[in-house]
Structure 1
Amino acid sequence: MKHSADDENEVHDVARFQDAARNVVTPVLRLPADTALAVVNAFAEIVRNAKRSRVATTPDRDGVVRSQTFEEGDVYMVEAPFDGFFADRYLMDFYDVEQRGICSRMHLHTGLRLVRMMTGPDTQIRVSSLSPFEVTDVPGVTPFLPRTFQDTLPDTPEDVTRTRHNLVVPPCSFVDMQIPRGVSHQFNAVGPHAVIDSVHPEESIETFRERMSGYRMTAQTVFLAEDLPPADTCVNLPT
């Protein structure tokens, strides 16, 4: 999947890229505003504490640095893989794209992911892909259906046009997304209260397969754009 496993900014040709499958989105629940805020803040505080921790910011005996940074937000490897258990789990404290002024890039991973997106009050997450989303809808169980819309991927070469499919995680909600290996996705939080709980079931397998030298978010990532686009390419959400 990667040309150079340890390249932290490897970019593939967006004009020729085709998704290997589709992302599957499952709305899980809606919460009262005060409950949602308490849950999101509790997860975010774990990530923030890790940034201040000498242990979490220092390689352990397996070379794992638990506190890391990705362009979507700060991350903490709350559960690391070990011999006989090749999955790991990350928490991500999202950046607010309006506050930062830039959006994250469309990208893909060399291994599959399961992410649970959680939002608090006055916060939405715009999820994007180059393929349409499949949304789980079980009557009587699925609590809501997220809004979807299409636009044009902004960060492409001058002669390239790609349709971007978008889905909006509303405030005070939990939404899961199953991301198959090699499928494009892009997360941007619009608002201050958003976290992700992300399980990576192939992490150590990827390390051996891709011949990576360590466990890093960027080591398993392939980008589909050179630069981070401006905030106005991801903050505008339909009402």
Structure 2
Amino acid sequence: MTLGTETTGRMKRSPDVEDEVLDVTHHQDPGRNRLTPVVQLPSDAALAVVDALAGLVRSAHRREEAGPAPAGTLKQAQVFEEGDVFMLEPPFEGFFADRYLMDFYDTADRGICSRMHLHTGLRFVRMMTGPGTTIRVSSLSPITVRPAEGWTDPLSTFTDVLPGTPTGVHRHRHNVIVPPNSWVDMQIPRGVSHQFNAVGPNAVIDSVHPEESIETLREGMSGFRMMAQTIFLAKDKSPAATCADITAPDDSTRA
């Protein structure tokens, strides 16, 4: 199979810029994200898992605060737009993938949404929610949702308008709502837009980056930085009201 330039060439204009923004007006996703419902759990079991994983992130950030990583070394406790992060498994020579845990922020509590973005390498993400918490997953392309066998609280989907676009530019945003006490997996191809926003206090991500070191070399970065090869599709974050809603009454459908 021959890969086109959209999957093999560099994507960033300035590889060391961590807040690079791409004009959303002309961006077209080269593929689609795929979401797989995994399992729904009793609320106490779901909360125990989410709390345990979020606890690892919080402990890592306490260690980083007490003894910051030396300059020039990989900082394993970092802060992303969607939440605090801990690189659980760094890459090593001969193994170019890494894995991180994210303790989601509560979008409603913060009052802002994370931005739509894409990555220069593919991602595999497991999202887990506990009681009273949902995750709104969004993309500029329709998200393929695989069957949810045996789920009592199915995934809902709807389409709305992407906020914060330039004057006169209208882009549709495709949304899937992960309900409370649920695990879902999401496969994110390289260069495909996505956006995560949790509403509620109990949500974590367990994410694997199978080509982190490869994309670092491909994009020409001067040093390895966890998840630095991100390209945003908006300059500013939008108010929480633009991503906290989990239904669209006029055109809501069921996955």
Q: Where on the TM-score scale, by shorter chain, does this alignment land: which range?
A: over 0.9
Q: Deviations over 1:204-234 (max 9, x none)?
A: 0011111113333452100000001000000
1:189 to 182, 190, 198: 198
Cα pair distance change 1:135/1:57, threshold 3 Å: farther
Residue matched to 2:56:
46
Residue matched to 1:214:
223
Residue matched to 1:156:
165
Q: Determine if the alignment matches structure 1 residue 224 to structure 2 residue 224.
A: no
Residues 1-239 of structure 1 mapped to structure 2, 5 A cutoff: 1-54=11-64, 57-59=68-70, 63-137=73-147, 145-238=154-247
Q: Deviations over 1:113-150 (max 9, x none)?
A: 00000000000000000000111127x57776411000
SS where residue 219 of structure 1 aligns? coil
Cα pair distance change 1:13/1:173, threshold 3 Å: same
Residue matched to 2:252:
none
Matched-pair contact (CA < 8 Å) for 1:108–1:181: yes
SS where residue 36 of structure 1 aligns? helix
Q: What letter corresponds to residue 99 of structure 1 in structure 2?
A: D
SS where residue 47 of structure 2 aligns? helix
Matched-pair contact (CA < 8 Å) for 1:68–1:216: no
Matched-pair contact (CA < 8 Å) for 2:88–2:101: yes
Cα pair distance change 1:106/1:27, threshold 3 Å: same
RMSD: 1.8
Cα pair distance change 1:97/1:34, threshold 3 Å: same
Matched-pair contact (CA < 8 Å) for 1:56–1:66: no
Cα pair distance change 1:171/1:162, threshold 3 Å: same
**Between Structure 1 and Structure 2, how many residues are aligned?**
237
Q: Percent identity between the aligned chains? A: 64
Gaps of 5+ in 2: 1-10, 250-255
SS where residue 176 of structure 1 aligns? strand
Matched-pair contact (CA < 8 Å) for 1:14–1:156: yes
Q: What is the TM-score with the length of structure 1 in the denominator?
A: 0.94
User: After the TM superposition, which of the residue ranges 46-55 and 64-73 deviates more from structure 2?
Assistant: 46-55
Query: For 1:118 and 1:56, how far apart are their aligned partners in 2?
Result: 30
Q: What letter corresponds to residue 30 of structure 2 in structure 1?
A: A
Deviation at 1:57, TM superposition (A): 4.2
Q: What letter corresponds to residue 200 of structure 2 in structure 1?
A: G
Cα pair distance change 1:195/1:159, threshold 3 Å: same
User: After the TM superposition, which of the residue ranges 204-213 and 17-26 deviates more from structure 2?
Assistant: 204-213
SS where residue 101 of structure 2 aligns? strand
Cα pair distance change 1:5/1:48, threshold 3 Å: same
SS where residue 222 of structure 2 aligns? coil
SS where residue 21 of structure 2 aligns? coil
Query: For 1:32 and 1:221, how far apart are their aligned partners in 2?
Result: 35
Gaps of 5+ in 1: none
Q: Deviations over 1:142-175 (max 9, x none)?
A: 7764110000000100111000000000000000
Q: What letter corresponds to residue 136 of structure 1 in structure 2?
A: R
SS where residue 46 of structure 1 aligns? helix
